[in-house]
Amino acid sequence: MMIYFSNYCMLSMWLLLQVVHIANAQTTVSGHSERPNIVFILADDLGYGDVSIYNENAAWQTTHIDRLANEGMRFTDAHTSSAVCTPTRYSILTGRYNWRSSLKKGVLSGYSKALIEPGRTTVAAMLQQQEYHTAFVGKWHLGWDWQFSGAATDTDNLSSNPTVDFSKSVQNGPKEKGFEYSYGFSGSLDMPPYVYVENGRATCIPKDTTVSVDDKGFWRKGVTGGDFIHAAALPHLTEKALSYIDEHAQNSRPFFLYFALPAPHTPILPTTEFLGKSNANFFGDFVLQVDDVVGQVLEALEKNGIRENTMVIFTSDNGCSPKANFKELAAVGHHPSGIYRGHKADIYEGGHRVPFIVSWPGHVSKASVTDETICTTDFLATAAAVSGFYIPDDIGEDSYNILPILLNESYRQPLREATVHHSINGDFAIRKGNWKLIMCPGSGGWSFPRTAQELDGLLPIQLYNLTDDPAEEKNIADKFPKRVQELKALLTKYVIDGRSTPGVAQKNNGPDTWVGLEWMDK
């Protein structure tokens, strides 16, 4: 009898907790008359200092992105989960650190298998459950399953060119990951195959093979569809995004548009109207073309009368690439990472600290600025709060809801206990408050120090106080051993637990040990 009563009480308590959870999820949006449309614009290889409102010494003015910031909130301490694109895109859509996936370093190719695990809930799938119409336009770069003709080997190699039956639909692409409409290409704009895929099917069977060897206009050799023109890719994809907004503006269902730009990543190919506009170089011109795309999106929302009920998020997938030609930019006083060290691929701030702007008229205060540390993994939990979705333990394991920050509501500060960073080589760093611990002796990426000779004699780990040393110039790991141990223990816990948010421990994908964890006590 006592056992029965105890079980009854436990069941009652569980039911009560579920009611509370659901109520909490609903109260996050109870003050809004309706759920907003969501437009997430992801630039490609745009540095923190490439947006003029973030960099008073920028060589150009990003008028439209600056306007977006003046209409909403600008985050000065926002980070991508990785310093390169594939892993960051995984984390944006899953709310999970990229290194928990099977990809432990590097990026995928245009022929790679799907990275997002079968059955894993994405932002798109979640919003679809909440009656949103969902769309992807642009650069996917998360792998999908082409139908290969014969054996396909080494498909993760960026220069691989296996034979594909382009008449057959792709599998495990955007549709299977929650997007009702999709239009884009599989890898980066410099990775074959150069083929547009709409709702799982190639828009054109490619016949020609193209290659470019110019440094800035570079793309690898590969098959190219007759309707695929590299220099026209950005305006073409923009037309698709604008058409989607026009089509769904007046629908009863809210919509979510994930607009993943292929620019200003290589090939750096600004169209004629933008040539010379930055008074810097081709990269600067291409940044201004990206800025113009943001302006066109805002104009489309205004034209359709839905700007007031649309949350627009703008950010980048990582820091600026050296392909921008830092020497040319420095000659005109421009530094893509601003005051921060490093660039794309690096564990240093320049690799993963990015512009992050959110505008939602009438809800997010105009021209507001916050120095709260956030990560692009936080998009999933925020979209869940906006749409009234309760997140179970096996979804968004590293995602924090930033809606209280956006709405200027009270919340536990800091929002995140700590934030984990990751480089192209698979090296880790953890940031807690002002302290950043890097678990390797160098950049973990492409900048100095990186070679064995450059790393010789350096401490195996790095510790910086970013308040005193935002440029990460003075490694003080040997002076604060207790701080090192504290941060190392927390990072270890995050890895082992399979999550960094409160909840039941989850399992990481791939091997239990992998590159980048040599420092962890086994």
Which string of DSSP letters, residue by residue, matches 464-508? EETTT-TT-----TTT-HHHHHHHHHHHHHHHHHT-SSSSS--PP
Distances (CA, A) of 166 to 115, 139, 151, 172: 20, 18, 15, 15
**Coil vs helix vs strand at 308:** helix
Strands of 80-148, DSSP E: 133-139
Closest CA to 167 of 135, 197, 211, 189: 197
Closest CA to 115 of 135, 101, 136, 134: 101
Interatomic CA distance for residues 243 and 230, integer angstroms:
20
The type of residue at 36 is: P
User: What is the pLDDT at residue 150?
Assistant: 83
pTM, to two decimals: 0.93
User: Residue with structure tokens 């141990």?
Assistant: 485
User: What is the pLDDT at residue 216?
Assistant: 73
Q: At what angle do helices 63-70 and 282-303 cross, to 10 degrees?
A: 50
Interatomic CA distance for residues 397 and 264, integer angstroms:
31
Distances (CA, A) of 269 to 411, 431, 436: 44, 36, 37
**Coil vs helix vs strand at 318:** coil
Look at strands 133-139 and 255-260 and give their pairing: parallel
Q: Are 188 and 181 in contact (CB under 8 A)?
A: no
**Tens-binned pLDDT, residue by residue, of the chain (522 aa):** 333 334 434 444 434 434 433 333 333 443 334 799 999 999 999 999 999 999 999 999 999 999 999 999 999 999 999 999 999 999 999 999 999 999 999 999 999 999 999 999 999 999 999 999 999 999 999 999 999 998 899 999 998 999 999 999 999 999 999 999 999 999 999 999 999 999 999 999 998 787 775 667 889 999 999 999 999 999 999 999 999 999 999 999 999 999 999 999 999 999 999 999 999 999 999 999 999 999 999 999 999 999 999 999 999 999 999 999 999 999 999 999 999 999 999 999 999 999 999 999 999 999 999 999 999 999 999 999 999 999 999 999 999 999 999 999 999 999 999 999 999 999 999 999 999 999 999 999 999 999 999 999 999 999 999 999 999 999 999 999 999 999 999 999 999 999 999 999 999 999 878 899 999 985
User: What is the pLDDT at residue 214?
Assistant: 65
Interatomic CA distance for residues 186 and 180, integer angstroms:
17
User: What is the pLDDT at residue 39?
Assistant: 99
